[in-house]
Amino acid sequence: MHLPHQREHEEFHPLGMAQRQLRESVERLGLPDEIHAKLAHFKRIVVVAVPARMDNGCLEVFTGYRVQHSMERGPCKGGMRYHPAVDLDEVCALAMLRTWKAAVVNIPYGGAKGGVDCDPQQLSRGELERITRRFTSELVEVIGPEKDIPAPDVGTDAEVMAWMMDTYSMNRGFVVPGVVTGKPLAIGGSAGRSDATGRGCVCILEQALAAMERLRPGLKVVIQGFGKVGRATARLAAQAGFRVVAVSDVCGATQNPHGLDIAKLEAYAEEHGTVAGFPEGEDLERDQVLLLPCDVLIPAALEGALTGDNAEQVQAKLILEAANGPTTGEAEAIFAERCIPVVPDILANAGGVTISYFEWVQDLQAYFWSEEEIHQKLYQVMTQAFGDVYCISEEKKLTLRQAALDLAIGRVAEAQALRGIYP
Ligand code: NAD
């Protein structure tokens, strides 16, 4: 199915960018047109009305989406985003990326993404729960542990996953922990899930710097976004010996050239709802963080942070995409010209889907592993994936993104060719 909604400029048209990346990879790999045609389409697109009673007694109707891109290698898997800018174009692009991401780390999943066009910052927990329960009820027939397994993303958290799991279970008539991942531990969550994406980012960062012979203690790191991914990345990067010199969130930014104390910054952000005003840092304009001199820039907020407008002024020596789709095609071309490597999202932030996979496996077998075991397994998967991608990029003289896409798309295409077309 092609999409009803097209954004005009590819810079702000995530699906156009995802389709272009697919086309280019198909050409490099020499795949047949019919494989490309199937990969370029979406298995299922579901758009639902989500009516919910607000605390003031009024009814509001939101729009909910779930897009399943591919089930060639296993059930679909992907996050649920609650954000006012959620639309079909964005959800489709992220669903396609999700297919490639699972394939890069060689996990037996296809890709999906979903969300609701609401602003969680303006909603009470009660309103959020009612929206989540109605949205999940609308999706009962299309999600499930063997079909499609949601997870947290921007604007959703472990509690939202608990409501989804409960709503699905009530509809089925029995407990189904494996319907979502990123749940609280007490109801079938996995040890290590809350900081999984950040842990994977730091693991890939160390591997990338080591492979490029640039790994040294005290390298300066700047992070855009201080949510689930940004916080964990900042904390674990600091623990690994990096100096996190600036951090931003949607409301502002703070910097300290000697390195921010991340534990104190987390406590401050928890209390004040933002990193701005942190007493041990100096405030700066939010988007200025992207342009600070540093060794590593880690965008960990939303898509389209690095564009043709700001890429020339970026002073980082390496970019690691903790967020999904933070670099537009124009920005990527500028970074390539300036010899600034970009470690792509589908590799850098794949720690989340990897530990989600571990959570699902544990739920299905009702047998849980220790945190140490999880960290060790995560390290193995991420190291293998980085090695695979880096080898392809060196051998074929490709960027890390091209190499990661070729690895992933080659794997999905192989599965598709082996399965053939039903009936
Ligand atoms: P979140 O909602 O927990 O945090 C988002 C953060 O970005 C917040 O701190 C917010 O204030 C900040 N932000 C928003 N707009 C900003 C702007 N213009 N400038 C600076 N900061 C801004 O979301 P999250 O789960 O941390 O996800 C962040 C990114 O990582 C998204 O792209 C998401 O798709 C991706 N991701 C998340 C996971 C996961 O496990 N949660 C896994 C893989 C990828």
Rg (CA), the chain: 20
Centre of ligand 1 from the C-alpha of residue 181, in Å: 18
**Is residue 8 scored above 50 in pLDDT?**
no
Alpha-carbon gap, residue 223 to 298, rounded angstroms = 5
Which of 47, 138, 136, 27 is closest to 92 using CA atoms? 47
Pull the structure tokens for residue 171: 């509809």
CA angle (314, 346, 97) in 5-degree steps: 110
Quote the longest CA-to-CA distance of the chain. Answer: 65
Alpha-carbon gap, residue 72 to 67, rounded angstroms = 15
Alpha-carbon gap, residue 188 to 184, rounded angstroms = 7
pLDDT at 31: 98
pLDDT at 329: 93
> Between 393 and 6, where is the model more confident?
393
**Does 423 sit behind a cis peptide bond, omega within 30 degrees of 0 on the bond before it?**
yes
CA angle (379, 384, 388) in 5-degree steps: 150
pLDDT digits (tens, 9 = 90+) for 79-109: 999 999 999 999 999 999 999 999 999 999 9
Alpha-carbon gap, residue 196 to 229, rounded angstroms = 8
Q: Is 323 in the pocket of ligand 1 (CB under 6 A)?
A: yes
Closest ligand 1 atom to Cα of 157: 3
Average pLDDT of the residues of the chain: 96
Share of the chain above pLDDT 90, in %: 96
111 in Cβ contact with 82 (< 8 Å): no
DSSP class of 46: E
Give the β-pairing of 44-53 and 59-68: antiparallel
pLDDT digits (tens, 9 = 90+) for 207-250: 999 999 998 999 999 999 999 999 999 999 999 999 999 999 99
Choice among 43, 101, 113, 183 that is catalytic:
113
Is residue 395 packed enough to be buried (19+ CB in 10 Å), middle (13-18) or exposed (0-12)?
A: exposed
* Range scoring the smallest mean pLDDT among 1-5, 15-19, 355-359, 404-408: 1-5
75 in Cβ contact with 107 (< 8 Å): no
Is residue 289 packed enough to be buried (19+ CB in 10 Å), middle (13-18) or exposed (0-12)?
A: buried
Q: Answer yes or no: 113 catalytic.
A: yes
Closest ligand 1 atom to Cα of 81: 34
Cα separations in angstroms, 310 against 205, 291, 300, 306, 315 = 23, 8, 17, 6, 10
Phi, psi at 249, each rounded to 5° = -140, -170
Spell out the alpha helix ranges (H) of 109-261: 125-139, 158-172, 196-211, 228-239
Name the band, by pLDDT with cuts 50, 70 and 90, for residue 4: very low
Alpha-carbon gap, residue 168 to 80, rounded angstroms = 15
Q: Is 155 in the pocket of ligand 1 (CB under 6 A)?
A: yes
What is the second-level CATH architecture of the domain 10-21+43-187? 3-Layer(aba) Sandwich (3.40)
pLDDT at 11: 57
Cα separations in angstroms, 374 against 117, 152, 287 = 34, 19, 35
Closest ligand 1 atom to Cα of 324: 32
Give the β-pairing of 282-284 and 294-299: unpaired
**Is residue 30 scored above 50 in pLDDT?**
yes
Cα separations in angstroms, 392 against 53, 200, 384, 401 = 52, 20, 13, 10
Give the start-to-end residue ranges of the domains of the chain. 10-21+43-187, 196-348
**Is residue 258 scored above 70 in pLDDT?**
yes
**Is residue 10 scored above 70 in pLDDT?**
no
189 in Cβ contact with 117 (< 8 Å): no
Domains 10-21+43-187 and 196-348 share a fold: yes
SS3 260: coil
Which of 241, 253, 245 is closest to 205 using CA atoms? 241
Output the DSSP codes for 3-20. -S---SSGGG-HHHHHHH
Is residue 291 packed enough to be buried (19+ CB in 10 Å), middle (13-18) or exposed (0-12)?
A: middle
Alpha-carbon gap, residue 99 to 409, rounded angstroms = 9
* Range scoring the smallest mean pLDDT among 12-21, 34-43, 91-100, 111-120: 12-21
* For ligand 1, atom 13: residue with the closest CA: 250
167-181: average pLDDT: 98
Q: Is 286 in the pocket of ligand 1 (CB under 6 A)?
A: yes
Quick one: 196-348 is in which CATH superfamily?
Answer: NAD(P)-binding Rossmann-like Domain (3.40.50.720)
Q: Is 344 in the pocket of ligand 1 (CB under 6 A)?
A: no
**Is residue 259 scored above 70 in pLDDT?**
yes
Phi, psi at 297, each rounded to 5° = -110, 130
SS3 199: helix
